[in-house]
Structure 1
Amino acid sequence: MSDSESSRPTEQWGSKLGVILAVAGSAVGLGNFLRFPGQAAANGGGAFMIPYFISFLIVGIPICWAEWTMGRYGGKFGFHSSPGIFSVLWRNPLSKYIGSLGLLIPVVIYMYYVYIESWCLAYAFYYATGDLDLGKNPASYSNFFTELTGQVSDGAIISGDHDSDGRVEFALQPIFWFFLITFVVNFYFIYRGLSKGIERFCKFAMPLLILAAIGVAIRVLTLPEQPLPEPWPRSLPQALPTSQWDTLKETALAPKTTPPEMRKSVVTAFNHYFDGIQENQEGYDGDIPVLPPVGFANSDQGMGIAMGYLRAGDKAEPYVTWLHKVHEDLSQSQKLQLQDLERSQTSLVTELQATVKAQTLLKAAADHKGAPPPAEAMAKFQEDEVALKEQLKGITAKRKEIIASTGAGAMPSLLPFLVTINEKLTNDQWTEAQERYAALEVARLRRTVFNGLGYMWNPDLSRLFEANVWLAAAGQIFFSLSIGFGIILTYASYLRRDDDVVLSGLTASSTNEFCEVVLGGLVAIPSTFLFLGMASTISVIEKGSTFGLGFNTLPAVFANMPAGRWIGMIWFGLLFLAGITSSLSMLQPAIAFLEEGFNLKRRASVSALGLMTLSGALTVIYFSHNVTALDTMDFWVGTFAIFVLATIEVILFGWVIGIKASFAEAHRGADMHIPRVFGFILKFVTPVFLLTIFAFWLQQNFADRVQQMFDNPAVMLTVLYLIIILLFMFLLISLAAEQWRKIGLGEKEVAE
């Protein structure tokens, strides 16, 4: 071995605990506390945990062990980056270029992840200063978040207002400075190296993060039951000034008012209410629990029922009395049944509308050609339409059966007032709409934390037959454990040749699962349920936005909590810490590559990587409209490339190296052995599972994503940027390979 190679700087972990906490830190991040609870609640609650833990056992743990083992093996040959490690795992000229994914993935994810971290830092700071006290209206926080992150337009973060001549003034917005602080903090610890920087920070940050999460979880679990709000037609009169309520009521009573027009007036009234509470204006009562209409209550039919109630006046009292009687008599399980029926009906109605629309389009296309529509296709659509209508009839009948079981008698009808509403519905349709609206009212659960936990964890076993649920579970495991990133390969390569990888890998994964399932599952959804209620919680979950839950909804939840300002500060401080522990790990693979490929010192490699990642981060910051660049990078690198790399790793471990040789390497110095059944799982089950999931995923997402490149120039530019980065990495790998060949690196094991 040449002098140049032997002088190349080498690093090692300071302790076994340090490497476990560092690997756990790379996995524990925003996905644990925001993405996981939303995924679980949206995909069957407790039922989601079945495919989740199956994915953990046949994908998460096996790939984790494979990465730890292959990383340590590559480290024996002096390699600490995936191109070098792949070159000794598979002695093929192409292997090192396949390993480029292990550089591309963490580097690109860092480019946008560090920006998201800065959002958390900004929120924690604004909570500490009191500037994030925006009241109880989620819309206020949504507007704040949109403006803070520059989603209004591209370039909004680096430009200010227009001057007197109409020109845009150059002005860096506050979030840019939070980004710079976050960027510098990351590189400070990265520059200090593996043991003095990353390991030392994770030893401090991980226990603090877990303690903070436990503290917030305890606070949520000990919150008292919240009053159950009445629907807005009965609660707003008590919460608004008389003049404002009279104006809203006049709109409802006006014969020409349509439900969509009424909805606009209701939205305006709620905005006035939330603003009035925040500014302590006279006439607004913040002690009255009031929630905006969501779901069916916010539809045209639901708004029509509310208008009919207001038009009925005192004559609606029998209906209100009946509602209270049914609500009291229904059991918890019956209320949950009614909620399940509502979700099923919403889904079926959407499917029915799509079927009817497809028939209309097919007929229109045939008429345009002057020919009859395809008989077979039309027959299939009509058959589907009949089947869907039958299912809807079954839901209506079941709903009536549940309510009738209370013995409260027939529902007092508002039909004489509903038929006066400017909406083209038959009497039967109005009656069915009132029954559906009433079922939502009587199915309201007591707003306790434990009912919130029940909503999240009670299993809906019918969801197990949906492919999307399994896709979501597998995707969450990838996202959560950081497998397929290339990070664990690099971290494990710094282990000594007899350091344990089996128990260490299992411990790091278990730490992540504790943070995700136990701590992440106890905060976001239960607290949202407690303060915003069932309907609003469902609405948030159905939107499927991690950002919406974390930065729009939870701040409104904290605003309802005693000492919510400080809970919010701790929560977003926790998210910032979780983000930092993850992002610190993302650049080590590329730093290791620059050091071993070009014999660079730490300062030079960190500086070079800093410039590259800064260019990518600025791309994300500039193309801020609807977070376009961030979303594009997250899809093509943070999802697509991760699936590809993880699948390649499993094939390498199980087929190229072979299970026997792989397990022999894994068991060297191991405190425990991998159960033999995992040999079969790693060789057959995991790759088949991954390829199946990947095929379904491509079918659902790939075509739309490709089309986006042609529809949106910002998406195309971001993809081109990613391609340039990948080609640049190919060039660097080619140059590094020549250097390795000259010094003989990788040909034999190196001395420790």
Structure 2
Amino acid sequence: MSSTTIEGKPREQWTGQTGFILSAIGSAVGLGNIWRFPGVAYENGGGAFLVPYLVALLTAGIPILLLDYAVGHRYRGSAPTAFRRLARWLEPLGWFQVLISFVIAVYYAAVVAWALSFFVYSFDLRWGDDPAGFFTGSYLQLADVGGADPWVSLDFVPAVLVPLVLVWIVAIGVLVAGVAKGLERANVIFIPLLVVGFGILVVRSLTLPGATDGLDALFTPNWAALGDADVWIAAYAQIFFSLSVAFGIMITYSSYRRRRANLTSPGLVVAFANSSFEILAGIGVFAALGFLAHQQSVAVGDIEGLTGPILSFVTFPTIVSQMPAGPLFGCLFFGSLAIAGFTSFISILQVVSAAFQEKFGLSRRQAPVRIGIVAAVLSIVGMGTTTGLVALDTIDNWANNVGIVASAVLTCILVVWVLRRAPLLRAHLNAVSTTQVGPWWYACVGVVVPFVLAFMLVSRIVSLVAEGYEGYATWYLNVFGWGMIGVLVVGAFVFARIRWRVDPDVFEPWPMIGATTGGAASGADERRPGATDAGKEGRR
């Protein structure tokens, strides 16, 4: 029989391992794989960047992914539930992750909406001869903030508003359908479609004149770069931001796995599939950039906009306009971008929905509708206006580089060093998995990950305080950057203080792991007052 929810009802589950793996890959493979990795690799040693990238994957990416899996699977709940069951006082950390996910969902939907718009625009190459002017002018109608226009505007942009509303309606519908019939079914359809569509795009890119020049620019190794600490930090940052770890997604997703479910082998599959797609994206993107450089008779490095939204919505439309069968290429690219973004988006939204469902006793239909409506309104008001791009850029920077990194550092330190639960969690992984986790995992999640990420966090905070961000007004950064982080911290403690509709502590983890795991980490110490046979149901 299945394990139970907080309310004592059967907990939703993935139908099997394949559904979970595809859904986890769908979460991990997102916008950053396509528009961030190629540029980061190019700027940090080219082919030589793959060395620190692989090291980061093995010493940080996979270990912290398995940490999330272990916490979610053992404690059978969303981030607040799982962390509370680790230790009551740890619940605010779970809510901090949930609120980060909420904020990210608000602006992430906008980028998916942009990709949908440009998918439609690809049919007639509507951006014309000036993709940059079209994106910021005709499409976004971007305000001249700091100049004649205000920093915050309620002037809505119809071209953004329509697809944005559509994205929210479809996402809420997927979550209302549930884990198996909604999330899993969407990923089972979209991930193979993404692989096929993007694969065709890559093959087409490789046949373009100048494609080899682009690949040479990307993969020619600059071995001297390996001596630069910033290159190694960039590799760890890319792996960390790419795998959807430390803000509740993988904790929530793994909680829907059956009790007797293999964790480590699927984790390896997800991690390497994510990295493989990033390399595939690098090949496709730089082959296309090589073509553009060939057409303009310039070096690849002289092309502006090699990362981020400018790469996707300015540089690629320029490429599409100059290549044979451009509309088809544009449809493949923006269709892939929309799919990758949407599968990540629904995973982010599920983190929030699951947490509120468990805390306030909402049904699986009530939670996504209520949360989705609130988030959609904020998304429309904040991102569907002429100042949406500036707000998105600012909030994204603080949410990712400050919020998520701080969450990861705190998780490792509190779980590994303060609670000393690493032996227990490793024992849990090994008890249910075929591929065994060795003692090396302690060093990774207890030393490597917190040290590297703490260095990243401190460096970024110092930079933001001293230099600001993108020349934006200080008051604006204090409100939408630091102010947003402050609200998330306060909100985390407020939500943790609210009374649970049903006591989450009536819970018994399985399998019970004895004193062999060491001291306070023993399974006996995890038993909650009032634990019933409900926990034992999950053993079968």
Shared fold (TM-score, shorter chain, > 0.5) = yes
Partner of 1:193: 178
Partner of 1:119: 114
How far does residue 4 in structure 1 lie from its aligned partner after superposition? 11
Q: Secondary structure at the match of 1:673?
A: coil
Q: Which amino acid aligns with 2:272?
A: S
How far does residue 25 in structure 1 lie from its aligned partner after superposition? 0.4
Aligned partner (choices 668, 686, 689) of residue 431 of structure 2: 668
**Distance across 1 between alignment mates of 2:500 and 2:154:** 48
Partner of 1:532: 293
CA contact (8 A) 1:532 1:557 kept: no
Partner of 1:694: 457
User: RMSD of the alignment, in Å?
Assistant: 2.9
Q: 1:452 to 1:545 in 2, by over 3 A?
A: closer
CA contact (8 A) 2:92 2:496 kept: yes
Q: 1:202 to 1:558 in 2, by over 3 A?
A: same
How far does residue 9 in structure 1 lie from its aligned partner after superposition? 6.2
How far does residue 627 in structure 1 lie from its aligned partner after superposition? 1.9
Partner of 1:292: none
How far does residue 113 in structure 1 lie from its aligned partner after superposition? 0.6
Q: Which amino acid aligns with 1:112?
A: Y
Partner of 1:633: 395
Partner of 2:278: 516
How far does residue 530 in structure 1 lie from its aligned partner after superposition? 2.0
Q: Secondary structure at the match of 1:523?
A: helix
**Distance across 2 between alignment mates of 1:81 and 1:171:** 35
Q: Which amino acid aligns with 2:34?
A: F
Partner of 2:128: 134
Larger radius of gyration: 1
Identity level (%): 28
**Distance across 2 between alignment mates of 1:29 and 1:210:** 12
How far does residue 696 in structure 1 lie from its aligned partner after superposition? 2.9
Partner of 1:96: 91
CA contact (8 A) 1:708 1:715 kept: no
Partner of 2:82: 85
Please say which of residues 101-110 and 461-470 is displaced more in the overlay: 461-470
Q: Secondary structure at the match of 2:503?
A: helix
**Distance across 1 between alignment mates of 2:389 and 2:253:** 31
Aligned partner (choices 657, 664, 673) of residue 420 of structure 2: 657
Gaps in structure 1 of 5+ consecutive residues = 155-167, 226-447
CA contact (8 A) 2:119 2:335 kept: yes
Q: How does 1:296-695 map to 2 (within 5 A)?
A: 448-517=210-279, 519-533=280-294, 535=298, 537-540=300-303, 545-621=307-383, 624-625=386-387, 627-655=389-417, 656-695=419-458
Partner of 1:273: none
**Distance across 2 between alignment mates of 1:641 and 1:740:** 29
Partner of 2:36: 35
Gaps in structure 2 of 5+ consecutive residues = 146-152, 509-527
CA contact (8 A) 2:110 2:384 kept: no
How far does residue 492 in structure 1 lie from its aligned partner after superposition? 0.6
Q: Secondary structure at the match of 2:432?
A: coil
Partner of 2:136: 146
How far does residue 92 in structure 1 lie from its aligned partner after superposition? 4.2
Please say which of residues 60-69 and 614-623 is displaced more in the overlay: 614-623
Partner of 1:16: 17
Q: Tell me the alpha carbon deviations over residues 138-165 of structure 1, each in whole angstroms, 9 at most, x when there is no partner.
A: xx000111021232357xxxxxxxxxxx
**Distance across 1 between alignment mates of 2:385 and 2:337:** 24
How far does residue 200 in structure 1 lie from its aligned partner after superposition? 0.4
Partner of 1:266: none
CA contact (8 A) 1:654 1:662 kept: no
CA contact (8 A) 1:151 1:627 kept: yes
How far does residue 695 in structure 1 lie from its aligned partner after superposition? 2.9
Q: Secondary structure at the match of 1:672?
A: coil
CA contact (8 A) 1:710 1:716 kept: no
TM-score of the aligned structures, taking structure 1 as reference length: 0.63
How far does residue 590 in structure 1 lie from its aligned partner after superposition? 1.7
CA contact (8 A) 1:69 1:665 kept: yes
CA contact (8 A) 1:8 1:596 kept: no
How far does residue 170 in structure 1 lie from its aligned partner after superposition? 7.2
**Structure number with higher relative contact order (C-alpha < 8 Å, ≥ 6 residues apart):** 1
Q: Tell me the alpha carbon deviations over residues 302-360 of structure 1, each in whole angstroms, 9 at most, x when there is no partner.
A: xxxxxxxxxxxxxxxxxxxxxxxxxxxxxxxxxxxxxxxxxxxxxxxxxxxxxxxxxxx
Instruction: Number of aligned residue pairs: give it.
Output: 503
Q: Which amino acid aligns with 2:83?
A: F
Q: Tell me the alpha carbon deviations over residues 88-122 of structure 1, each in whole angstroms, 9 at most, x when there is no partner.
A: 22x242x1012212201211111111100001000
How far does residue 742 in structure 1 lie from its aligned partner after superposition? 8.6
Determine whether 1:180 maps to 2:165: yes
How far does residue 594 in structure 1 lie from its aligned partner after superposition? 1.6
Q: Secondary structure at the match of 1:577?
A: helix
CA contact (8 A) 1:594 1:600 kept: yes
Determine whether 1:66 maps to 2:67: yes
How far does residue 697 in structure 1 lie from its aligned partner after superposition? 3.0
Q: Tell me the alpha carbon deviations over residues 644-666 of structure 1, each in whole angstroms, 9 at most, x when there is no partner.
A: 11122223443323443221111
TM-score of the aligned structures, taking structure 2 as reference length: 0.86
Q: How does 1:697-708 map to 2 (within 5 A)?
A: 697-705=460-468
